[in-house]
Amino acid sequence: MEAKHEKYHRLIEYCRSIPATPTAVVHPCDRSSLEGAVEAAKIGLIAPVLVGPKARIEELARTAGIDIAPYPMIDVPYSEAAAIAAVQLVREGKVEALMKGSLHTDELMAAVVRRDSGLRTSRRVSHCFVMDVPGHAEALIITDAAVNIAPTLEEKADILQNAIDLAHALHVTEVRVAILSAMETVNPKVPSTVEAAALCKMVDRKQITGAVVDGPLALDNAINLEAARIKQIASPVAGRANVLLVPDLEAGNMLAKSLSFLAGADAAGIVLGARVPIILTSRADSILTRLASCAVAALVAKARRDNAKAVG
């Protein structure tokens, strides 16, 4: 296992050298979410504030043998209230990240995107998987496979910029984005190819910055140099992409789960575009994946602090 996910281990090890990120853990009422948060705290990735029904969390910790004594807790009666309380902690400047516990993603995101009391910015909220694929040299960022169902061109521009910013926070030296479709030529009958071409022109015009972007590209010629050579695609991205922008949520979800269940990949999940990074985990996630998600959020939070200092 150590060798299998060496990219995650490197990421986690690096994050142990930076201060722990104050993080509201929202409704950690099952073993995996509570254990993941405590493990991340033990190795210095996050400084958790547990937000949820106090008696229930304490009983869970007791029966599971998890020591939660070192961590502050905010007692709220149910999951929706926990999401609202966690968002308020961000607005008060007390935490710099949110971590999903055992509540539904929709409940957490509803509190995040509320117009009056949420954590909206001018940027569209979107999700990224940072995938550690065995045998693949670099981590792959896949977006958006969890939040935006059928994004418009305008929304895709934000999704793309969020992913580029994430890659920079993760210290990717050259960000190479492939805008995926079923083919690598523009076909008016396939809207995702037309939108891919438009996004590339937006990059040319500096409406989207920070990466080398190409598309449309099919998956094979996005990540395999030989496939790109056979198709005679001359591009700095083709065959070498480290960020994959998918046409819609269905395509992204199938791609990410194919890599997980057929190629043995792990998928750390994070939501971007809100005031703070949001760690989205699945009940099926291993402890390593949960730790990697916390490490990704820690680097995003650090990048935001550094940017704020630079602007200030």
Tens-digit pLDDT profile for residues 173-197:
999 999 999 999 999 999 999 999 9
Domains of the chain with CATH codes: 1-120+275-312 (3.40.50.10950), 124-273 (3.40.718.10)
Of all residues in the chain, the percent with pLDDT exceeding 70 is 98
Q: How far apart are CA 227 and CA 196, in angstroms?
A: 20
pLDDT at 307: 86
Angle between helices 31-42 and 54-64 (to 10 degrees): 80
Whether the pLDDT of residue 133 is over 80: the answer is yes
Sign of the torsion formed by the C-alpha atoms of 292, 296, 297 and 299:
positive
Sign of the torsion formed by the C-alpha atoms of 156, 138, 273 and 77:
positive
- The encoded tokens of residue 294 equal 């916390």
pLDDT one-digit tens code per residue, 18-32: 999 999 999 999 999
Q: How far apart are CA 188 and CA 181, in angstroms?
A: 13
Count the helix, strand and coil residues of the chain and give each as a percent rounded to the nearest 5: 45, 15, 40
Residue whose entry in the numeric block shows the structure tokens 């819609």: 248
Whether the pLDDT of residue 312 is over 80: the answer is no
pTM score, whole prediction: 0.94
For residue 18, give the DSSP letter.
Answer: S
Residue 17 makes CB contacts below 8 A (sequence gap 6+) with: none
6 band by pLDDT with thresholds 50, 70 and 90: confident
